């Protein structure tokens, strides 16, 4: 079964598909000083929940991009049901090749999807093309809590960095960390357990599916990895990046 098909199964009972809460998303919007003039582009927008919360709380407008048709359908339903279809557009596309208007947005967001451009630094370089002078970036990213993690696990997660290295990448690209919100253990547990719940329900509902064993194996691997390694060695935070000297 393809990776995105597994994600569609595991995430179907989640709204926010990162280890973060709605309350923290609203706090982030306050720190960004979002308002009805704010234009936001969200790369890898998932189910559109961040855009919907900011539209509800602050009146923002903008566009969300996601490569998954399932995610885009849910995002459009969420945005339409909330009455924001005239302000928030959802585009089903590859974020790396999406033809956004250059330097047209006050804020560019990529929460948990820097794989779109193959990493944190590359994401900064790509996203800064979307923001106006003085605009900001918001990036959600995993990081190592310690450099003492088991070597075999570290080799499986080559894209993950120490947090101080993320800071250096931001500085090298001309940005400061203006603010951050960290995932708590509760945030992580909600996210991971929510994924497990989606997988278990699908396994129950599809006793004769030819790829059922693949889904079972994915569930067990996800649980083992999180409880053996992830909860102890992974952090996750969402960062506001502002241009140096702004």
Task: Over range 91-113, report the average pLDDT.
Answer: 96
Query: What does pTM read for this prediction?
Result: 0.94
Quick one: pLDDT at residue 246?
65
Question: pLDDT tens, 201-221?
Answer: 999 999 999 999 999 999 999
Cα–Cα distance for residue pair 42/36, rounded to 1 Å: 16
Q: Give the pLDDT band (50/70/90) at residue 50.
A: very high
Show Cβ contacts of residue 230 under 8 Å, excluding neighbours closer than 6 positions: 188, 192
Quick one: pLDDT at residue 124?
98
Cα–Cα distance for residue pair 127/136, rounded to 1 Å: 9
Quick one: pLDDT at residue 151?
84
Mean pLDDT of the chain: 96
Quick one: pLDDT at residue 156?
82
Tell me the domains of the chain and their CATH numbers: 18-184+235-243 (3.40.50.150)
CB 244 within 8 A of CB 176: yes
Quick one: pLDDT at residue 158?
84
More reliable by pLDDT, 9 or 246: 9
Question: pLDDT tens, 55-85?
Answer: 999 999 999 999 999 999 999 999 999 999 9
Show Cβ contacts of residue 246 under 8 Å, excluding neighbours closer than 6 positions: 134
DSSP, collapsed to helix, strand or coil, labels residue 149 as coil
Q: Is the pLDDT of residue 154 over 90?
A: no
Task: Over range 143-167, report the average pLDDT.
Answer: 90
Question: pLDDT tens, 160-202?
Answer: 999 999 999 999 999 999 999 999 999 999 999 999 999 999 9
Q: Give the pLDDT band (50/70/90) at residue 94.
A: very high
Which two tokens mark 142? 């995993």
């Amino acid at each position: 079964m393809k990776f995105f098909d597994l994600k569609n199964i595991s995430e179907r009972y989640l709204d926010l598909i990162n280890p973060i809460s709605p309350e923290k998303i609203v706090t982030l919007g306050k720190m960004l000083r979002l308002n009805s003039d704010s234009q936001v582009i969200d790369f890898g927008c998932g189910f559109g929940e961040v855009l919907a919360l900011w539209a509800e709380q602050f009146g923002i407008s903008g566009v969300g991009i996601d490569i998954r048709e399932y995610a885009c359908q849910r995002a459009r339903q969420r945005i339409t049901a909330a009455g924001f279809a005239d302000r928030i557009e959802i585009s089903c596309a590859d974020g790396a090749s999406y033809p956004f208007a250059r330097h047209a947005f006050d804020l560019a967001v990529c929460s948990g999807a820097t794989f779109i451009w193959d990493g944190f630094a590359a994401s900064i370089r790509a996203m800064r093309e979307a923001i106006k002078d003085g605009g900001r970036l918001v990036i959600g990213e995993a990081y190592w809590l310690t450099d003492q993690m088991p070597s075999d696990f570290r080799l499986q997660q080559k894209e993950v960095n120490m947090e101080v290295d993320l800071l250096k990448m931001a500085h090298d690209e001309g940005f400061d960390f203006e603010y951050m919100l960290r995932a708590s253990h509760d945030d992580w547990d909600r996210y991971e357990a929510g994924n497990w719940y989606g997988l278990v329900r699908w396994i129950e509902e599809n006793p004769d599916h030819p790829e059922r064993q693949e889904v079972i194996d994915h569930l067990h691997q996800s649980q083992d990895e999180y409880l053996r390694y992830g909860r102890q060695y992974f952090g996750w935070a969402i960062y506001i990046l502002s241009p140096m000297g702004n």
